[in-house]
């Protein structure tokens, strides 16, 4: 499974920003950082 950690709008390195292209296909997209419980729940879902 592909988990996209989409939690940063822009990197501090401009060359990285220019090269980055978001994935077209992913199984889970995370748009904010959560707590450990949320992380463990996500791992459980991905293992099914």
Residue 6's pLDDT is 92
Q: What is the pLDDT of residue 28?
A: 86
Contacts of 6 (CB under 8 A, 6+ apart): 22, 29, 30, 31
pLDDT tens-digit profile, the chain (48 residues): 888 999 999 999 999 999 999 999 998 888 888 888 888 888 888 886
Q: How does 7-39 read in b/e, with b if 16+ C-beta sit within 10 Å?
A: eeeeeeeeeeeeeeeeeeeeeeeeeeeeeeeee
pTM above the 0.85 mark? no
What per-residue confidence (pLDDT) applies to 39?
A: 84
Contact 4, 22 (CB under 8 A): yes
Q: Where are the domains of the chain?
A: 3-47
Q: Which pLDDT value is given to residue 35?
A: 84
Cα 42 from Cα 28, distance rounded (Å): 9
């Amino acid at each position: 499974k592909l988990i996209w950690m989409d939690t940063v709008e822009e990197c501090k390195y401009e060359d990285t920003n220019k090269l980055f292209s978001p994935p077209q296909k992913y199984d889970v997209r995370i748009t904010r950082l959560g707590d450990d419980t949320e992380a463990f729940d996500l791992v459980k879902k991905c293992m099914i």
